[in-house]
Amino acid sequence: MIAQDIAKTIVSPKAYANGKQVDDAFAYLRREAPLEQAQPEGYDPFWVVTRHADILAVERQNDLFHNGDRSATLTTKEADRRVREMTGGSPHLVRSLVQMDNPDHFNYRRLTQGEFLPQNLKRLEARIREIAKGFVDRMADHGGRCDFARDVAFLYPLHVIMEVIGVPEADEPRMLKLTQELFGSADPELNRSGEEIKDTSASVDTIQSVVMDFMTYFNAVTDDRRKAPRNDIASVIANGKINGEPLGYLEAMSYYIIAATAGHDTTSSTTAGALWALAENPDQLARVKGDPSLMMSFIEESIRWVTPVKHFMRTATADTELAGKPIAKGDWLMLSYPSGNRDEAVFKDPFKFDVGRMPNKHVAFGYGAHVCLGQHLARMEMRILWEELFPRLQSVELDGTPKNMEAAFVCGPKSVPVRFKMN
């Protein structure tokens, strides 16, 4: 069993905000206990999967390691009890692709998968470039100082995905606020209560109220798109059918929610974290500005570096073995993506930000059947933004102390104050 101080660290929202604290904990585990059970106070025991190879082994076996049998994200015993009380027994407040196993996962993913294939995203490139240029101009208008996270990185991917879904620009601030309240439920600066939440039941109630606000909004969108379909994702979801039947209410609302949150937040985090890294490593900024062929390796390194999704949980459907350890049917496993992306066996100098890192087989998007649906759109958005910004950006440095949000599930920078020179 993992020592309590380490177990406490790897579930602590504050430790993820700190960054180094959680990196050190996982580095210790990779070295001393790469696959071992943890049981922090208040939690059911779970296996902590820290190595890149073991994460891939779990991700490859979707029939053996399920998403939906228990909570797909780490939760306390009390929070799990409260969720099941609310839902009539289900461990899930929402039922998106993340909480599904086959055949539902395959069928629901297929609904929108085509929209996010690289060849179909090409039609969006000119419009995304127009949006990116607007945000680069907006950055220039700040006169040499801005909070890159709040002024650019949060807003640019948000605008792109809301256009793709079909949400009007006037509603974007509402979508951003709800997203931050959902993913930042443990962060007193972002959550709905505005204070530190120590009572897990209260936390579940707060998250449920955010989910209900999303559902109220998207229920009206569904009614509208059924009456008058458009060329957007909302119309695909509203009019979609699985086995000849319309999507269930919970499944449809959950589809909107994952598109309207994960569809921008993770890209925003990576974009903000990338400029933070460049501000701390001017030699790397000079490299990528001087050699456009490094653009895609820079983007992959940014994704590895930030790894916005910190974990997903899986549940063993049968007795099995992983890395020589016996896993029992019903056991819960935490796939630690930041640990996998700092695995010394896979990445040379994993704690160095290297814009030319090749190869870069990071696991930030997951792997296999559950690999991130929007990964190609995310890469395209980042590439276009940097293509517009780098030719104009002469220099950038930190203008204060950046801050990460406090969260153990999805976490990235919430403030990146910078000074810069642009032409």
Residue 9 in tokens: 């660290």
Give the per-residue pLDDT at 122.
95
In angstroms, the CA 124 to CA 94 distance is 29
Tokens 């009380």 sit on residue: 85
- Specify the pLDDT at position 97: 97
Using CA atoms, how far residue 149 sits from 86, 120, 155, 238, 272, in Å, is 35, 29, 8, 32, 5
Low-confidence residues in the chain, pLDDT < 50 = none
Q: Scan for tokens 């690289």, then name that residue.
A: 118
For residue 65, count other CB atoms closer than 10 A to its CB. Answer: 25
* Cβ burial, residue 201 (10 Å; 0-12/13-18/19+): middle
Separation of alpha carbons 41 and 318, rounded Å: 26
pLDDT at 194: 83
Closest CA to 66 of 96, 89, 95, 100: 100
> Which of 98, 69, 65, 102 has its CA nearest to residue 84?
69
- Decide: 330 and 299 in contact? Cβ < 8 Å: no
CA-CA distance, 38 to 334, in Å (whole number)? Answer: 10
Task: Tell me the β-bridge partners of 320.
Answer: 327
pLDDT of residue 347: 98
Q: What pLDDT is stored for residue 195 in this prediction?
A: 80
**CATH number assigned to the domain covering 4-422:** 1.10.630.10
What is this structure's pTM? 0.96
Question: Which residues 6+ apart lie within 8 Å of 285 measured at CB?
Answer: 278, 279, 393, 395, 396
Provide the residue ranges of all domains of the chain, joining segments of one domain with +: 4-422
- In this prediction, residue 202 carries a pLDDT of 72
Q: Strands across the sheet with 417-422, in order?
A: 145-147, 417-422, 393-398
